[in-house]
């Protein structure tokens, strides 16, 4: 699939990694619809991206929201060939801390946004992609999910977050196997420490300390480097059923 021909939906697309992926698709000549809960950021992102971008306010934890947004995107672009799931939250919290045991609602929220939100987008997008005519190699679409290195080496305070991202990694292969008969590929990217809006809000010295832990290059990842890998996934038909760590060889320490 050529990036210039891509018609993509991007959850969490109003900022950070999602916006970087959307920007690359638009710059190549493709179309994107951004799904995000933040209306102001969504409107600003579309204003910057131009006529080949649109925004649909969406709460990824609400099935009706996702289904309506996907259908609106499909109708507006004439189809959906790529779904990029970047919506997520990364709140830290100990299982048992100074304030007592972790509230069940805290755990549920991270699972609901990061894992359930990803599933809702993927299944709705897959239904839309099944309506596409197959390409020369039978391909109808590609799904890109976003996990985290925390799925493999989660730190203290990341029980809930690691569980949510580990679930994404675990469902990558079975989802790819199931959707193969429809000509739909599934790949997950597991970023390391990247300069996202959440990271940018941290003190500069903390950013430098985290970047220095990366073996090479010894710095924070750039959103455009995430977008570059998204492009490779979209364009390379042999990438399927795999989770790719994009982390400069970092392995997170316990804390």
Cβ atoms of residues 213 and 250 within 8 Å:
yes
Alpha carbons 79 and 70: distance in angstroms, whole number:
10
Residue carrying the six token digits 């959440």 = 198
227: which 2 tokens? 């977008």
Phi, psi of 35 (to 5 degrees): -115, 120
Phi and psi at residue 16, in whole multiples of 5°? 60, -135
> Which stretch of DSSP H or E encloses residue 31?
strand 31-36
Q: Label the pairing between strands 96-97 and 100-101.
A: antiparallel
Q: Which of 55, 161, 194, 226 is catalytic?
A: 161
Q: Is 254 part of the annotated catalytic residue set?
A: no
- Give kind and range of the element (H or E) at residue 221: none
Considering only CA atoms, which of 155, 125, 161 is closest in space to residue 140? Answer: 125
Buried b (16+ CB within 10 A) or exposed e, 1-37: bebeebbbbbbbbbbbbbbbbbbbbbebebbbbbbbb
Gap between the Cα atoms of 230 and 12, Å rounded: 15
Question: Which residues are annotated as catalytic?
Answer: 161
């Amino acid at each position: 699939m050529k990036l210039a021909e891509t018609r993509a939906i991007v959850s969490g697309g109003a900022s950070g990694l999602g916006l970087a992926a959307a920007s690359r698709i638009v710059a190549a000549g493709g179309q994107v619809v951004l799904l995000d809960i933040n209306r102001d950021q969504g409107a600003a992102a579309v204003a910057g991206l131009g006529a080949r971008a649109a925004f649909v306010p969406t709460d990824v934890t609400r099935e009706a929201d996702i289904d309506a947004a996907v259908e609106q995107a499909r109708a507006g672009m004439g189809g959906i060939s790529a779904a990029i799931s970047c919506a997520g939250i990364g709140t830290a919290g100990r299982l048992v801390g100074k304030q007592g045991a972790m509230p069940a609602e805290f755990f549920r929220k991270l699972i609901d946004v990061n894992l359930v939100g990803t599933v809702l987008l993927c299944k709705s997008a897959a239904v839309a992609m099944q309506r596409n005519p197959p390409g020369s190699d039978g391909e109808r679409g590609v799904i890109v999910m976003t996990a985290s290195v925390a799925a493999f080496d989660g730190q203290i305070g990341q029980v809930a977050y690691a569980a949510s991202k580990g679930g994404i990694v675990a469902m990558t292969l079975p989802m790819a196997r199931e959707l193969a008969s429809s000509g739909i590929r599934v790949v997950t990217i597991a970023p390391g420490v990247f300069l996202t809006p959440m990271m940018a809000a941290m003190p500069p010295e903390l950013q430098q300390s985290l970047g220095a832990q990366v073996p090479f290059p010894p710095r924070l990842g750039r959103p455009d480097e995430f977008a570059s890998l998204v492009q490779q996934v979209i364009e390379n038909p042999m990438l399927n059923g795999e989770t790719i760590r994009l982390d400069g060889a970092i392995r997170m320490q316990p804390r």
